[in-house]
Amino acid sequence: METKLTLEIIEAFEMRKESFKPDYDDAGYRFTLPCNHDVEGFFMLNGEPCDTDSLEGLNGWLYINTKEELELIMKMTSEEELFDFVEKDNPEFDRTEFE
């Protein structure tokens, strides 16, 4: 059984965390993975509080919504490992956009 992400679970991984505000009514956290890429999770959308229950990165190519997925990605220490993981399910992913 998979465990749905929560902010508490995400914070337990002790990644570097910073707040960001992409526009006037949205706000979230940006976390840095061990492979030095950032993922983002929102705590406010359209001016309303929301649960931080997923992380997104690589312009939407990487989407994490379970603890088990995050555990797997946290073991990836190189950008190449992360890109290989994303390409496995998304053959149209262009890693050169992020290198």
pLDDT at site 8 = 96
E strands, 24-98, in order = 26-32, 38-45, 48-49, 55-57, 62-64
pLDDT at 98: 87
The percentage of the chain sitting over the pLDDT mark of 90, rounded to a whole number, equals 97
The answer on pLDDT for 39 being more than 90 is yes
| Predicted confidence (pLDDT) at residue 99 exceeds the cutoff of 90 | no
Tokens (6 digits) for 73: 């990605």
